[in-house]
Amino acid sequence: MNEDKTSSDPRSTGQLNRRGVLAAATAAAASASLAAPCAAADTPARTKPAGRKIKLGWLGCGGRGLWLAKLFRDHGGYEFTAVADYFPDLVQAFGEELGVPKARRFTGLSGYKKVLDSGPEALSILNVPCFFPEQAAAAVAAGCHVYIAKPVAVDAPGCLAIGAAGELATRKKLCFLVDYQLPTDPVNREVVRRVWDGGLGRLCAVTTIGQGGGANQLPDPAKGKTIAGRLRNLIWCADIPLGGDPIVNYDIHIIDAAIWALRSRPVSAVGHARVCRPAPHGDRQDLAFIVYECPDGVLWNHQTLVLPDHGRESLACNLHGLAASARIGYDGTSFLRGGPKHFGGGKVEDLYKQGAVRNIATFYQSVVEKQCDNPTVQRAVDGTLTAILGREAAMRGVRITMEELIKENRKLHVDLSGLDA
């Protein structure tokens, strides 16, 4: 599979089959993190293998999945032992490219279980986000280290399940890394360090922009008899129960960055959203404008668009204080200008690839050196909950608190009928 309203909402009816691991009981434990600071990441590793190969299972063979697997191969510290994807053609192409034995190429919804049964040391999860919580929990239960793409979930119960899986991984001395690239960039890291050192003075406002390009870049064809055709070629981005909506599956990069810089998540959100494309088949929103309120009164404005907007910066986070202002982003120039910690900044270079390369190296080092504090997990949970909070506030057109979102504990339904088990 390819990677990168109220309780009466039809999306909320029923539960996603094969996701029994997403127990509602996790809500009470995770709600305590509402005001918890996010852990800072350590300096990204550049470790190359030292005579040690990690036996790696793989989920998700399309687009970014195959591309990322080649970076794992180039690192040199990994051996691909088993692979799964819903689609046989993707599995076979991946297996041939990465040298996975034919007997360890699995398909269907349960393919991930067969990968885990084959006994890998670690598992990379890069298929469709609605499946991530179940697959990650199963991997940790099987004793596997986890390398997982974003977003970690599409609903609040899924986020809480990821948090629980990450906590269990730490207790079991397993590594669990969420593959966000922006916080690995050295220029972004220097800006955020100076923000944390008080370089902005009193922080007053945050603005973030997510811009996914024109609507044609996210296909939304007519639906078939089953959802099989929507599990590849990024079509899942058009269906909120599958991909979470663009704010969750694309804007999450910059929402995660804002959470990283703020070291806390918002307490509430209010907004509005619209569908603009002329013939929608999925339920994704094409634009949304959201205002988050942070615990210390800071206001955070987020804009998301799946519309042509040439020349406007995407995935940018601007932080405005009384003494200075700062910018971090997925590309362009990051800086902190003015105030006692002035930093002229520099270019964020080739982050899509280099961020992944850094994370692959960090994951390797964490596994071989048994560094299992897993600092990316709680930030990923907080960031994804923030994106979901914004999505729900904008779609409903009301103010929602984070506490209310978590207490709703509402799973999004995915109809898996007619799919190959």
Please give the C-alpha separations between residue 344 and each of 157, 245, 314, 336, 337, in angstroms, as whole numbers. Answer: 42, 35, 21, 7, 6
Q: Residue 297: exposed, middle, or buried by beta-carbon count in 10 A (0-12, 13-18, 19+)? A: exposed
Q: pLDDT below 50 — which residues of the chain?
A: 2-43
Fold that domain 184-352+384-408 belongs to in CATH: Dihydrodipicolinate Reductase; domain 2 (3.30.360)
pLDDT score of 228: 97
pLDDT score of 51: 75
pLDDT score of 37: 35
- Give the homologous superfamily in CATH for domain 39-182+358-376: NAD(P)-binding Rossmann-like Domain (3.40.50.720)
CA–CA dist 268, 259 (Å, integer): 14
Residue corresponding to tokens 């603005």: 207
Q: Residue 219: exposed, middle, or buried by beta-carbon count in 10 A (0-12, 13-18, 19+)? A: middle
Question: Measuring CA to CA, which residue among 321, 324, 314 is closest to residue 299?
Answer: 321
| DSSP codes of every residue in 143-158 | T-EEEE-S-S-SSHHH
pLDDT score of 311: 59
The domain locations on the chain are: 39-182+358-376, 184-352+384-408
CA–CA dist 59, 126 (Å, integer): 6
- pTM, two decimals, is 0.89
pLDDT score of 292: 98
pLDDT score of 203: 97
Sequence-distant (≥ 6) Cβ neighbours of residue 224 within 8 angstroms? 230
pLDDT score of 48: 62
pLDDT score of 314: 84
